[in-house]
Chains A and B, each alone.
Chain A
Amino acid sequence: MSESLPTVAVIEDEVQMRRFLRASLSSNGYRVLEAETGQEGLNLVAAHSPDIILLDLGLPDLDGLIVTARLREWSKAPIIVISARGREEDKIKALDAGADDYVTKPFGVGELLARIRVALRHATGGGDGCAQFSVGELKVDLARRQIFVDDKEVHLTPIEYRLLSILVKHSGKVITHGQLLREVWGPNLGDQTQYLRVYMGQLRHKLERDPSRPRYFVTEPGVGYRLRDTIEG
């Protein structure tokens, strides 16, 4: 049976962190492999091809960004980066280098498990093929290009729609400002995030109950946005 358990590779130098991750992940049905350094982590992933990788950015031997880039040369396993607060640039760099998501220290186990679930779902193609998306009162039908809030259809401008469709495709995952700008407006806008922010605001006004306390379209400060795929409580 244990063969069928999803495998998580934890690349983390702090013993206490590894202990906590091992305990909480194995009790939630994951098989945990551990590596203490970046080099060890690369060997571990090469040897065992885990389903998902948890990577601490502050490793003693190799920069986490380099580990991410090297892993991406030959591995498609989703990478979730563990980073400290206030290092937003590092997060963006890691995401650009090929990481799928991140958690900020300190984090609760619920948050981590949710990230892992989303990443695994996207990796196995669980979310992508689905033309239907719903969270809370929001329903999106990509096939028919229809959006409903509280079962009432809402009309979007082409740009708003495109923005929403990208967020839906990556639902649950963080998408950086740069990524969204590129996918919606093409490569010419660079880092002119104000366009994105304005359209994001419009989307919230049309789809959120209280746009100043968004429930679906979450801001990831300094990094980008995330469309929640579940709403707790």
Chain B
Amino acid sequence: MNGELHRPNPDEILRRVVAEEARTKQGKLTLFFGAAPGVGKTYAMLEAARAELEREKRDVVVGVVETHGRYETAALVLGLELLPSRRVAYRGVEVQEFDLDHALVRRPALILIDELAHTNAEGSRHPKRWQDVQELLDAGIDVFSTLNVQHVESLNDVIAKITGVMVRETVPDAMLSQAHEIKLVDLPPDDLLDRLRDGKVYVPAQAQQAIENFFRKGNLIALRELALRTTAERVDAQMHEYRRAQGIEQTWATSENILVAVSASPYSARLLRAARRMASTLHASWFAVYVEPNSARPMPAASVTRLSHNLRLAEQLGAKVVTLTGENAAEALVRFAKERNVSKIIVGKPLAARFRDRLRSSLIDQIVKQSGDIDVFVTAGDPDPGEVVADRPQQTQLHIPSFVVALGIVALCTGLGWFVFGVDQLADVVMTYLLGIVVVASRFGMRPSLAAALLSVAGLDFFFVRPYFTFAVSDLRHIVTFAVMFVVAVVISGLTERVRNQALSARHRELRTNSLYELSRELASAVGSHRVIEVGATQIERMFSSRVNVFVRKPKGALECARASRDDPPPDRDLTVGEWVWSNHKEAGLGTNTLSAGASLYLPLLASGGIVGVLGVTPDEPDRFHAIDQRRHLDAFAVQMALAMERAFLAEETNQVRREVETEQLRSSLLSSVSHDLRTPLAVITGAASTLLQDAPSLSTPLRLELTETILEEAERLNRLIRNLLDMTRLESGGIRVNKEWVPLEEVVGSALQRLESRLKARELKVELPPGLPLVPCDPILIEQALINLLENAAKYSDGPIELRALLMPSEVIVEVADHGLGIPDGQELQIFEKFQRAVRQGSPGGVGLGLAICRAIVVAHGGRIWAQNREAGGASFRFALPVSGEAPMLPPPELAEPPSGDGPT
């Protein structure tokens, strides 16, 4: 029993195995980690690479290495294969950049990429070098790279505080945690300063001053400590991992979940970093949650951008980003926290308590009240420098016409009050003004209605309160009236505004829901993947006023454009980006981190079974998808479309498989049937011919004749069999075209009877063709074949006379072949037209059972129908109907009928 406890739990093992597997398929990242530039990271990396090359004989390639002109470093590069760099024109200067595509094609076992935090020149696939590295790792290539502690995203603000230098180039912590190994390259600060003095540290000339401030001993000590601590944390994590693997830890707490509330606030960034640090020390996974209010006014553009920025930052820091919808943010947050077993909630502390918060309880109070046993942490916010300032101008955006209308309405109310009620009817006039304010509030929102309230108070004072036509007030009680009126006006406009916003957002949501509903309805009714793609793309184009391309990949094929937008076929570049999106299952293009130079956004169409396509959206206004709700709306469309496409693809696949199975079944029944029916005549021919050959002298003449006749008959039977097989194959494969000509039925019948002359010699045959039968549009060769098969069938299954007749109907001609045999067994009237089906009856004659199937195929190809029934007088009747519409072209008039040469009778 105790032994049980020490064993690691199976889920845990499974998770570890999956993680391990992902790690082995992935390339391994080794980071050479240092406290500051100049500690010798690049040197250490090159040394390690040489060791790999020389000792392990690995395929090592140098992707990028900055030697900064240092002799020792350059010497180490010698002898290693250098990947040619990509030259990019950047602001008129030619810059050399790492060539990712080349590296992916070259596919070394190990590649060296210096300066993980580097920002790529514009126009590169990824804006950041660490993204290049990520892609290399995903492709299964091992990477050596270097990183300084100040570039670590979660330490970014701490370091900015220590050194006073804000580092813009950051690397997400996820890169560190996914590193297979972190090698700390450590140099005591004094030694580093010595190296700096000796000029052994590369310092760009223009940044001399800044760099010198940076390389102060105090800074260096602090940075060194941070680097050491980061490495130590990592070792600690590794130890945990090890203990878990060995089952040492008996009481491993179920992994903790942390929730951090994100908003459009500039302070959220710091909050996120704090959360990240807490999460990493607790080995917890964490959620960054944004609550979108139900009744929100459309957010100002700056806030939208900042919110997107915050959410992206959260993602980079390794959070799971979740967006919730709800009127009450606290309630939504706590509900989510409880659902996901969150143990700690982190919220920012508002810097200045808002007026509203004093009236009602603040967000924090509400969370604390509702949270139950969840810990709530309140962290002071500190805006990222330079971000708050940008926020201001947005707020003073005024919509002038609405203020003019507000003014007009107040003037109207004043006039109304003046002429209807006159002075001294204050109560009535106040009511009139309030009505005006309500109107303004409901039409134009908060600010114009506040203006209207102010104007109303002024108007009331000026026109209706003694002394008239001045703003002076004789009776102090009126001041109270003004105040009450103003407060009432404010409250009313607040309420009206809220109702208005709720209505607006309800309408907005309804539109969104409707469009999604419409999409799913249309997608559900679309048949076939092509139609599904077309419907989805058209809907997206209409909804987002964009152009839409859809790319799919056939099994084992390259990515291809399955649907081009109306005006242009997509350029090759689109296919390249599409390929990337397909293989990485990540979005790219406009507004993303990858290949963001173009005007199109590329989304992977992910369904339950994997990626089914790539959606390329080119909005008419480039910033359309900056708005979070638009993006989410588009994502919802993409999900719907992906599911519909998957469904269509699966259906097509199933059909394909079914067809293959049917073909397979057909083939096997054909084989069994054919092998029997071919062998019988062959056996007879072989037997008869060998008798003739061996016993020739002893055979009597009649016997010899009989044997010879047998051979001939069997050969003819074989010929018919093969003819039917060939016909069926050709009809089935669509290899036979119906060449319709206007033909007299009599000719076709005559030709068929003539071909059957020898076989039907002994049979009585009645042919009834009514006079005046029109020409029938048909392929005479095929219809003749159908007739032959029907007549042969009748001859085979009956002994009496055979009747062939035609009937003229209003829009078709019916041809009947009837016999006086035993008829068709009950219930087999349809079945006998199937391939390899014969009427099941004892002693029935042989045959492959293709004749009637061929008839049906021929008649159906003519747009006609065929059926069989038993006759009342006994025997079977087979009929087919050929449609006759229109008339044969007129015969030539007499003058055309004149002979080309004059040899006609005169």
Quick check: A145 and B746 within 8 Å, CB to CB?
no
Q: Mark B133-176, 1 if CB is under 8 A from A, else 0.
A: 00000000000000000000000000000000000000000000
Nearest B-chain residue to A186, judged by Cβ: B900
Quick check: B767 and A198 within 8 Å, CB to CB?
no
Interface: B899 (CB within 8 A): yes
Quick check: B899 and A211 within 8 Å, CB to CB?
no
Quick check: B754 and A200 within 8 Å, CB to CB?
no
For B750, B753, B889, B905, the residue with the greatest tally of chain A CB atoms inside 10 Å of its CB is: B750
Interface: A29 (CB within 8 A): no
Evaluate whether A192 and B889 lie within 8 angstroms (CB atoms) in the complex, with A201-B746, A219-B747 already known: yes
Q: Mark B746-775, 1 if CB is under 8 A from A, else 0.
A: 110111011000000000000101000001
B773 to chain A, nearest CB (A): 10
Evaluate whether A85 and B751 lie within 8 angstroms (CB atoms) in the complex, with A106-B715, A185-B897, A188-B896 already known: no
Evaluate whether A194 and B904 lie within 8 angstroms (CB atoms) in the complex, with A212-B750, A213-B767 already known: no
Q: Mark A202-218, 1 if CB is under 8 A from B, else 0.
A: 00100000111110001
Quick check: A197 and B775 within 8 Å, CB to CB?
yes
Nearest B-chain residue to A145, judged by Cβ: B905
Quick check: B896 and A213 within 8 Å, CB to CB?
no
Q: Among residues 100 to 117 in chain A, which have CB atoms less than 8 Å away from a CB atom of chain B?
A: 106, 108
Interface: A221 (CB within 8 A): yes
Q: Mark A170-211, 1 if CB is under 8 A from B, else 0.
A: 000000000000111111110011110110110010000011
Quick check: A162 and B904 within 8 Å, CB to CB?
yes
Interface: B6 (CB within 8 A): no
Q: For B899, list chain A residues within 8 Å (CB).
A: 158, 162, 184, 186
Evaluate whether A161 and B905 lie within 8 angstroms (CB atoms) in the complex, with A186-B900, A197-B742, A222-B780 already known: yes
Interface: A88 (CB within 8 A): yes
Evaluate whether A106 and B719 lie within 8 angstroms (CB atoms) in the complex, with A212-B749, A218-B754 already known: yes
Evaluate whether A158 and B784 lie within 8 angstroms (CB atoms) in the complex, with A106-B715, A194-B888, A219-B751 already known: no
For A161, A189, A192, A213, the residue with the greatest tally of chain B CB atoms inside 10 Å of its CB is: A213
Alpha-carbon separation in the docked complex, A194 to B744 (Å):
8
Quick check: B769 and A212 within 8 Å, CB to CB?
yes
Q: For B712, list chain A residues within 8 Å (CB).
A: 108
Q: Mark B769-798, 1 if CB is under 8 A from A, else 0.
A: 100000100001100100000000000000
Nearest B-chain residue to A208, judged by Cβ: B750
Q: For A165, list chain B residues within 8 Å (CB).
A: 903
Alpha-carbon separation in the docked complex, A93 to B743 (Å):
22
Interface: A159 (CB within 8 A): yes
A1 to chain B, nearest CB (A): 29
Q: For A182, list chain B residues within 8 Å (CB).
A: 900
Quick check: B715 and A86 within 8 Å, CB to CB?
no
Q: For B753, list chain A residues within 8 Å (CB).
A: 212-213
| One of B749, B775, B896, B900 near A198 (C-beta < 8 A) | B775
Quick check: B775 and A194 within 8 Å, CB to CB?
yes
Alpha-carbon separation in the docked complex, A198 to B746 (Å):
10
Nearest B-chain residue to A86, judged by Cβ: B726
Nearest B-chain residue to A156, judged by Cβ: B905
B681 to chain A, nearest CB (A): 13
A50 to chain B, nearest CB (A): 29
Nearest B-chain residue to A194, judged by Cβ: B742
Quick check: B781 and A88 within 8 Å, CB to CB?
yes
For B747, B753, B888, the residue with the greatest tally of chain A CB atoms inside 10 Å of its CB is: B747
Q: For A106, list chain B residues within 8 Å (CB).
A: 715, 719
B817 to chain A, nearest CB (A): 14
Q: Among residues 881 to 906 in chain B, which have CB atoms less than 8 Å away from a CB atom of chain A?
A: 888-889, 891-892, 896-900, 903-905
Q: For B898, list chain A residues within 8 Å (CB).
A: 186
Quick check: B781 and A221 within 8 Å, CB to CB?
yes
Quick check: B905 and A158 within 8 Å, CB to CB?
yes
Interface residue range, chain A? 35 or more
For B719, B746, B784, the residue with the greatest tally of chain A CB atoms inside 10 Å of its CB is: B746
Q: For B775, list chain A residues within 8 Å (CB).
A: 194, 197-198
| One of A85, A86, A158, A193 near B741 (C-beta < 8 A) | A193
Alpha-carbon separation in the docked complex, A203 to B79 (Å):
98
Interface residue range, chain B? 35 or more
Nearest A-chain residue to B768, judged by Cβ: A212
For A85, A86, A221, the residue with the greatest tally of chain B CB atoms inside 10 Å of its CB is: A221
Q: For B903, list chain A residues within 8 Å (CB).
A: 162, 165
Interface: B723 (CB within 8 A): yes
Quick check: A219 and B896 within 8 Å, CB to CB?
no
A112 to chain B, nearest CB (A): 15
Quick check: B750 and A214 within 8 Å, CB to CB?
yes
Q: For A213, list chain B residues within 8 Å (CB).
A: 750, 753-754, 767
Quick check: A159 and B784 within 8 Å, CB to CB?
no
Quick check: B781 and A222 within 8 Å, CB to CB?
yes
A15 to chain B, nearest CB (A): 17
Q: For B754, list chain A residues within 8 Å (CB).
A: 213-214, 218-219
Q: For B719, list chain A residues within 8 Å (CB).
A: 106
Q: Mark B715-754, 1 if CB is under 8 A from A, else 0.
A: 1000100010011001000000000011110110111011
Q: Among residues 804 to 838 in chain B, which have CB atoms less than 8 Å away from a CB atom of chain A?
A: none
Evaluate whether A212 and B897 lie within 8 angstroms (CB atoms) in the complex, with A86-B726, A198-B744, A218-B754 already known: no
For A165, A197, A210, A212, the residue with the greatest tally of chain B CB atoms inside 10 Å of its CB is: A212
Evaluate whether A219 and B897 lie within 8 angstroms (CB atoms) in the complex, with A161-B904, A194-B889, A197-B775 already known: no
Nearest A-chain residue to B898, judged by Cβ: A186
Alpha-carbon separation in the docked complex, A214 to B753 (Å):
9
Alpha-carbon separation in the docked complex, A189 to B754 (Å):
28
| One of A86, A88, A197, A210 near B747 (C-beta < 8 A) | A197
Q: For B723, list chain A residues within 8 Å (CB).
A: 85
B787 to chain A, nearest CB (A): 11
Alpha-carbon separation in the docked complex, A70 to B706 (Å):
45
Nearest A-chain residue to B888, judged by Cβ: A194
Alpha-carbon separation in the docked complex, A211 to B753 (Å):
11
Q: For A201, list chain B residues within 8 Å (CB).
A: 744, 746-747
Evaluate whether A197 and B743 lie within 8 angstroms (CB atoms) in the complex, with A106-B715, A213-B767 already known: yes
For A88, A198, A210, the residue with the greatest tally of chain B CB atoms inside 10 Å of its CB is: A198
Q: For B905, list chain A residues within 8 Å (CB).
A: 145, 158, 161
Q: For B741, list chain A residues within 8 Å (CB).
A: 193-194
Alpha-carbon separation in the docked complex, A184 to B900 (Å):
7
A-B contact sample (17 more), CB < 8 A, given A86-B726, A184-B899, A185-B892: A106-B715, A158-B905, A159-B897, A186-B899, A187-B900, A189-B892, A192-B889, A194-B741, A197-B742, A197-B747, A201-B747, A212-B750, A212-B753, A213-B754, A219-B747, A219-B754, A221-B781
- Chosen A-B contacts, 15 in total, with CB atoms closer than 8 Å, are A86-B726, A86-B730, A184-B899, A189-B892, A194-B743, A194-B775, A195-B891, A197-B742, A197-B744, A197-B747, A204-B746, A212-B750, A219-B747, A219-B751, A221-B784
Which A-B residue pairs are the 9 nearest by beta carbons?
Answer: A194-B742, A219-B751, A186-B900, A212-B767, A222-B781, A201-B744, A158-B904, A194-B888, A221-B781
Q: B interface vs A, CB < 8 Å?
A: 712, 715, 719, 723, 726-727, 730, 741-744, 746-747, 749-751, 753-754, 767, 769, 775, 780-781, 784, 888-889, 891-892, 896-900, 903-905
